[in-house]
Amino acid sequence: MMKDMRILLALVAVLALAAGLVAVAASRNLGPFDRPAPGGNVFAERALFTDPANRTLQAAGRMEAEGRPEDAAILREMAAVPSGIWLTPEEYPPGSVKQYVISIVQKSEAADEVPVLVLYGIPDRDCSGGFSSGGLEPGSYRSWVEEAADAVAAVGATAAVVLEPDALASSLECGNRDERVRLIAEAVDVLASAGITTYVDAGHSDWVPVGEMASMLQEVGIDRVRGFSTNVSNYQTDEAELDYAERLDRALGGGTHWVIDRGRNGNGSTEEWCNPPGRALGRLPGFVDDGTGLDAYLWVKPPAESDGTCNLGPQAGEVYLDQALAMARAAGW
């Protein structure tokens, strides 16, 4: 009897959490997590997957233990929003990334959901910013991507990949354009051959001119994958990014698709890109059917995570508690 009661209470708690998140989305006019519908867009076919072990949820637990229940509740709410799952060779090096990806896609398949995997291991990574510097050696990059792709194939999973945020856009100022194009073209070859829905990152609307970005995307083989991503880890508005994406699509000859990161663009952008103050969470992610090539708005960068040790932030990828709470409250959370 006691066991049955515990099961019933757990089910009630889960249903209450789901109802609460739906109510929050409706009351704040933030947009849906997903709008399932048939079609070739994976985000139309399945709901977005939330990593049950994400850093934001872990931080919420620590904050609860510190006696800050209201702040912890905000972080838990943020943690419940599906965000990108970033794969770096520092955390998941060659030889271990496959098993980690298998563990993720097994969970997403069991839930009939689609994870957004972010491959972030290009050699000389973050050469323009420096806060997320690192990456693989050129000779080991393709095999690392192959491990991740093999993991998705081994499970027979549905997944989406955002390929190398900022890599093409920053290559012009870093002076490594040819190497970046070659390596990303190799990754495109791997992911396309594995049949994985892939979006090659195309920077954002306030960075590289459309013609230059279109040229690089054509060189890496954009026609072999689903399309491109914009605004990853940045703050440009939905409107600016949609305009940029549509112009980029025309420069590519039309018919491509794209996703836009809106996780932190609620107040738009400033001239700062690294933990800028005064920003706000964007609307919730989800499938889009607006007659353009836009497949979905996503939270590719988990909004609670730091851009780097700037503006008093922790290391890139760690939860920046004060900033996360400020962005949530600025968005009305």
Residue type for 148, please? A
Q: Does the annotation mark 243 as catalytic?
A: no
Q: Does the annotation mark 166 as catalytic?
A: yes
Helix (H, G, I), strand (E, B) or coil at 40: coil
Query: Alpha-carbon distance 205 to 232, whole Å?
Result: 11
**Annotated catalytic residue, options 124, 166, 238, 295:** 166
Q: What backbone torsions phi and psi does residue 50 show, to the nearest 5 degrees?
A: -110, 125
Strand (E) positions, 116-256? 116-119, 160-163, 197-201, 227-230
**Annotated catalytic residue, options 126, 201, 249, 295:** 126
Q: What are the C-alpha distances in Å from 136 to residues 11, 141, 324?
A: 44, 6, 30
Q: Does the annotation mark 261 as catalytic?
A: no
Going 83 to 84 to 89 to 95, the CA torsion angle's sign is: positive
- Tokens encoding 151: 């993991």
Q: What are the C-alpha distances in Å from 16 to residues 11, 40, 52, 167, 274?
A: 9, 32, 17, 42, 36
Which residues are tagged catalytic?
126, 166, 307
